């Protein structure tokens, strides 16, 4: 499963660094190619020489070589790797990762990495339970990194509790299952709509909504990581997902989104409409800026075309169509009604009543309802994990 996979291991200064030579041996045995980047302080716990012999590659520590002035590119390591595992990860390095500090090669590599990053915190029990540490673990997760949670047990300090680095064999298994999962959507084309639409009133004003596009971004990235080819139709947002398998189609208004989605849909295997499409648009946008000559201003709005409903009419038996529902009351009933009237396979219900859920948050709490009305409820979690939950459900449907 790991044959030919390029694994970059990052080591920070924790006693559990002694487990890393075993991890490297196991990875090499599985056919992976391994490189190591380590902090200068971690060299007191495990020697670069042992790591270089075992990995059959030079170990990177400093950003440049003082002797000959050559530069070790942090970008190179991060783009070489298929996965970056930072283990053990100390509380100190984790805090730096969570805030973007890059005062060594390992941290700069992390910030520049394009591959999935696995992080395995390891420290003393009280440090682990400190609110700052827990917040940093959460922050890193919300950025899409994958947590390899520590175990509970006897610690180097003599105390017992959470903080032991996961065993090397288990880390290898986590990687194996990650790569297996990632093959699961290969050959599939996934259409995802995301973000708000903006409807012009005049050349300087518009009607829109608070959608940040973060849920759609997470979905696109998750689909791409599972091997799908993604066509990502997005309204204007601040950040777009970056992945070689994501083709970005930028649109502005509901009618532009309609045109792009209906054009792509016949070729798609899976379509997820996560966009917050305007339901109404100004009937006659003014060609010139409206002057404030009158005390009141009446805008005539007309309904936009419901993209999802029209895709539901076009859907064939081999396609899966998933919608989102944002409700403020009678949530389940309204979502079920949209599921059936729009001919969907699943609907993902967001409620604005849940704290930390909906527009502008990195987290979301959703229920996924399938066409036989089965409801799967999920906890409040980072949008990246909500995306993974949804694709786990979708995948069961396509095998």
Q: Which residues bind ligand CTP (CB under 6 A)?
A: 254, 273, 275, 277, 279, 304, 306-308, 323-326, 338
In whole angstroms, the minimum distance from the beta carbon of 255 to ligand CTP comes to: 10
Nearer to ligand CTP, 54 or 273 (CB): 273
In whole angstroms, the minimum distance from the beta carbon of 282 to ligand CTP comes to: 15
Nearer to ligand CTP, 78 or 358 (CB): 358
In the set 92, 209, 343, 354, the catalytic residue is 209
- The DSSP secondary-structure symbol of 26 reads H
Q: Which residue has the tokens 């947002």?
A: 237
C-alpha span between 259 and 191 (Å, rounded): 13
In whole angstroms, the minimum distance from the beta carbon of 367 to ligand CTP comes to: 13
In whole angstroms, the minimum distance from the beta carbon of 205 to ligand CTP comes to: 20
Nearer to ligand CTP, 14 or 323 (CB): 323
* Beta bridge mates, 83: 7
Nearer to ligand CTP, 39 or 281 (CB): 281
Nearer to ligand CTP, 171 or 369 (CB): 369
C-alpha span between 92 and 109 (Å, rounded): 16
Which of 119, 77, 82 is CA-nearest to residue 97? Answer: 119
Q: Which residues contact 276 (CB under 8 A, 6 or more apart)?
A: 195, 196, 197, 209, 210, 211, 235, 326, 359
Nearer to ligand CTP, 146 or 271 (CB): 271
C-alpha span between 1 and 219 (Å, rounded): 25
Using CA atoms, how far residue 313 sits from 254, 270, 307, 317, in Å, is 18, 15, 10, 11
364 as an active site residue: the answer is no
Alpha-carbon torsion, ordered 256, 261, 262, 267, to 10 deg = 150
In whole angstroms, the minimum distance from the beta carbon of 3 to ligand CTP comes to: 40
In whole angstroms, the minimum distance from the beta carbon of 307 to ligand CTP comes to: 3
> What's the N-to-C CA distance of the chain in angstroms?
20
- Scored b (16 or more CB within 10 A) or e, 289-303 reads eeeeeeeeeeeeeee
Using CA atoms, how far residue 89 sits from 101, 165, 279, in Å, is 15, 9, 47
C-alpha span between 233 and 240 (Å, rounded): 10
Residues noted as catalytic: 209
């Amino acid at each position: 499963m790991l044959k030919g996979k390029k694994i970059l291991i990052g080591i920070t200064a924790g006693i559990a660094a002694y487990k890393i030579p075993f991890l490297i041996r196991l990875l090499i045995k599985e056919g992976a190619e391994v490189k190591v980047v380590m902090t200068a302080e971690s060299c007191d716990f495990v020697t670069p020489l042992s790591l270089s012999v075992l990995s059959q590659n030079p170990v990177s520590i400093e950003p440049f070589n003082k002797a000959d002035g050559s530069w070790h590119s942090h970008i190179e390591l991060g783009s070489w790797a298929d996965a970056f595992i930072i283990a053990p990860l100390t509380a100190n390095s984790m805090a730096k990762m969570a805030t973007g500090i890059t005062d060594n090669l390992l941290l700069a590599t992390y910030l520049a990495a394009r591959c999935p990053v696995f992080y395995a915190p390891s420290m003393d029990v009280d440090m682990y339970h400190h609110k700052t540490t827990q917040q940093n673990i959460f922050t890193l997760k919300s950025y899409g990194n994958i947590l390899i949670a520590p175990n509970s047990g006897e610690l180097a300090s003599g105390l017992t509790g959470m903080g032991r680095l996961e065993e090397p064999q288990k880390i290898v298994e986590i990687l194996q299952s990650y790569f297996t999962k990632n093959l699961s959507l290969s050959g599939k084309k996934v259409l995802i709509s995301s973000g708000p639409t903006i409807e012009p009133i005049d050349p300087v004003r518009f009607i829109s909504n608070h959608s940040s596009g973060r849920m759609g971004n997470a979905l696109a990235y998750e689909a791409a990581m599972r091997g799908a080819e993604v066509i990502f139709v997005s309204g204007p947002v601040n950040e777009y997902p970056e992945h070689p398998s994501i083709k970005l189609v930028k649109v502005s208004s509901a009618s532009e989104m309609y045109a792009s989605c209906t054009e792509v849909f016949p070729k798609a295997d899976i379509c997820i409409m996560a966009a917050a499409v305007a339901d109404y648009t100004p009937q006659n946008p003014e060609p010139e800026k409206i002057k404030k000559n009158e005390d009141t201003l009446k805008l005539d709005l007309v309904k936009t075309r419901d993209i999802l409903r029209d895709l539901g009419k076009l859907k064939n038996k081999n396609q899966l169509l998933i919608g989102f529902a944002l409700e403020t009351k009678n949530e389940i009933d309204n979502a079920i009604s949209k599921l059936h009237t729009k001919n969907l396979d699943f609907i993902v219900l967001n409620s604005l009543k849940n704290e930390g859920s909906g527009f502008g948050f990195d987290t979301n709490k959703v229920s996924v309802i399938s066409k036989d009305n089965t409801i799967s409820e999920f906890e409040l979690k980072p949008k990246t994990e909500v995306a993974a939950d949804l694709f786990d459900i979708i995948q069961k449907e396509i095998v």
